[in-house]
Structure formats: C-alpha cells, structure tokens
C-alpha cells in the first residue's frame, strides 16, 4: 500500500455534516468518500460529473418552490393549459 498523506480543505459546517451523514448512510466515512471522488476524477481525467452554470429561470423556480410561491393549480388540466400557453 502506498504512503498516505493528509489533505485539508475548508467547507461550510452544514455541508460537512450533511455529506458525512449521507456517506455514512452508504457505509462510508467522509475520508473514504473523498478518496472515491479523487480516484474517480483521476480515472475520468477530470471531474466525475458535468459542471454547468444553472439557468436563472431554474434558480428562480427553485426559490419559488422553496418558499411555496408561484402559481397553484386546482387541476391537472389547468396546469397543462398554463404550460401550453407559456
């Protein structure tokens, strides 16, 4: 086995705790999960996922959904009509 080294980085406390809980639910500690990410990045010769800029309309839609803002519909038909008229 190769020699190990320590990597230190900063992240928000909440992000760390959520990620830690997620990976523990998958049977991994945070160190193992980060090693998986690094090794997959090496195999992919880049990020192991696509990085894109999010469209402003999507950001606004998520904000409205999180705050329960925006339109509400009484029926599927009304929703579909609104979508088709957009």
Place of tokens 């991994």: 28
Residue 1 is predicted with a pLDDT of 65
In this structure, the answer to whether residues 4 and 27 fall within a common structural domain is yes
**Which is higher by pLDDT, 72 or 35?**
35
Contact call for residues 30 and 20 (beta carbons, < 8 A): yes
Give me the domain span that covers residue 75: 56-85
pTM: 0.58
If asked whether residues 67 and 32 sit together in one domain, one would say: no
Number of domains in the chain: 2
Same domain, 30 and 47: yes
Task: Please name the residue that has the structure tokens 């980085």.
Answer: 9
φ/ψ (deg, to 5) at 4: -95, 160
- Per-residue buried b or exposed e for 3-41, using 16+ beta carbons within 10 Å of the residue's own CB: eeeeeeeeeeeeeeeeeeeebeeeeeeeeebeeeeeeee
Asked if pLDDT for residue 30 goes beyond 90, the answer is yes
pLDDT digit string, tens, across residues 38-80: 999 999 999 999 888 889 999 998 899 999 897 889 999 999 9
Asked if 41 and 74 sit in the same domain, the reply is: no
Mean pLDDT confidence for 32-39 = 97
Residues 2 and 32 in one domain: yes
């Amino acid at each position: 086995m190769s020699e190990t080294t320590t990597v230190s980085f900063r992240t928000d406390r909440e992000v760390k705790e959520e990620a830690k809980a997620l990976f523990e639910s998958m049977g991994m500690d945070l160190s193992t999960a980060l090693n998986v990410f690094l090794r997959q990045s090496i195999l992919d010769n880049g990020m192991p996922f696509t990085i894109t800029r999010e469209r402003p309309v999507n950001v606004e839609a998520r904000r409205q959904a999180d705050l329960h803002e925006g339109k509400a519909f009484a029926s599927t038909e009304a929703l579909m009509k609104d979508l088709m008229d957009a």
